[in-house]
Amino acid sequence: MDELLNEALAGLRNAADAPAIEQWRVEWLGRQDGRITKLLRAVREQPQDERAAFGAAANRLKQELEAAFEGRQEELRRSAIEALSTTSALDVTLPGRPQTLGRLHPVTQTMRDCIKAFADMGFRVAEGPEVEWERYNFDGVRIPQDHPARDMWDTIWVNTLVDGRRQMLLRTHTSPNQVRVMERSEPPIRVIVPGKCYRQEATDATHEWMLTQIEGLAVDEGIRMTDLKGVLYEFARTMFGSERKIIFHHSYFPFVEPGIEMALDCFICRGNDARCGTCHGTGWIEILGAGMVHPEIIDNAGYGSDRYTGFAFGIGIERVALLRWGIEDIRHFYANDVRFLSQF
């Protein structure tokens, strides 16, 4: 057995790589035909009085070889790594590159917070298509062809012709969903519709060609302007706290009567810089348009404007995000610069 041990250990020392020690393992410790396995089987054939001693010695030998095998295996593994670090381009001592965790885009975060604010006031969420029909985006909200109000929204049209002319566009606002929601539901309605809109827009600090809006619509008996103002006040308080100043201006949109805009005080110049790129010297940053749904739209839905009234609003989510974090230029949002995005 001593001879066997020496022979086996010498063989193991000569095995210089993984295939070689595997071959050694099969030769010596292999379960079927390994030499030690055979030796253990031979215990039975020994004379009665030598059997116990033979068996014990054979087991000891097996254990010694198993331990030697594991040691050699580890030795080879380590020297293979060391060899790599000196002979190849792979430097195994370099620390790993940390995987940075992603997060939600600041506009998405703001969108979700806005949705939550309205959901808490009883609005449910609906959706509508980004590629929209002209008749929903414009005609359905009282902006027929050749009406000058179409110029308020510089439209990106889809080139496909329907009945010989372009009738599809990238929606310029979420307002077509006022009509879509009324088409498929009955009052009382309290709904918000979030989503992307597109305009052929010369970009500046507060204008992008892709923007995100949340449309709001409430239709019921007895809804009044004070309800609209209350909802918008509550929304502004939730998003900006009670310290920020809010102002309502009169405004014009063909689908509401009367129409208003809501603005917040300019966080950049506080109204003190006539050349401020964010508020243009007005001291106010507009975040939404709103008003009482035009009676004609309520009638077109078949509800009857003698009985039902409603309010609608369209909020610019990028503007809300600008205001809540004091960001000076809307174009940062879609420039894909991680140094900017990772701050939120």
Could you list the residues that contact ligand FA5 (CB under 6 A)?
A: 173, 175, 199, 201, 207-208, 211, 213, 253, 256, 259, 286-291, 312-314, 316, 318-319, 330
Options 213, 218, 290, 293, the catalytic residue? 213
Residue 63 burial (CB count, 10 A): 10
Catalytic residue check, 13: no
Q: Are strands 168-170 and 189-198 parallel, antiparallel or unpaired?
A: unpaired
Whole-number Å distance between alpha carbons of 132 and 139: 12
At 292, the amino acid letter reads M
State which residue, 61 or 232, has the beta carbon closest to ligand FA5. Answer: 232
Q: How far apart are CB 310 and ligand FA5 at their closest, in Å?
A: 10
At 236, the amino acid letter reads A
Catalytic residue check, 166: no
Residue 315 vs residues 184, 213, 277, 292: alpha-carbon distances, Å:
23, 5, 21, 15
Catalytic residue check, 325: no
State which residue, 169 or 288, has the beta carbon closest to ligand FA5. Answer: 288
> Tokens standing for 229?
């103002």
Catalytic residue check, 48: no
State which residue, 257 or 273, has the beta carbon closest to ligand FA5. Answer: 257
> Tokens standing for 49?
């009085």
Whole-number Å distance between alpha carbons of 29 and 69: 9
State which residue, 128 or 291, has the beta carbon closest to ligand FA5. Answer: 291
Residue number closest to ligand FA5, CB atom = 316
User: Radius of gyration over alpha carbons of the chain, in Å?
Assistant: 38
Whole-number Å distance between alpha carbons of 115 and 238: 11
Q: How far apart are CB 252 and ligand FA5 at their closest, in Å?
A: 9
Q: How far apart are CB 158 and ligand FA5 at their closest, in Å?
A: 19
Residue 281 burial (CB count, 10 A): 15
State which residue, 237 or 331, has the beta carbon closest to ligand FA5. Answer: 331
Options 218, 293, 312, 320, the catalytic residue? 312
Q: How far apart are CB 243 and ligand FA5 at their closest, in Å?
A: 21
Q: How far apart are CB 269 and ligand FA5 at their closest, in Å?
A: 18
Q: Which residues are the active-site residues? A: 153, 173, 199, 213, 256, 312
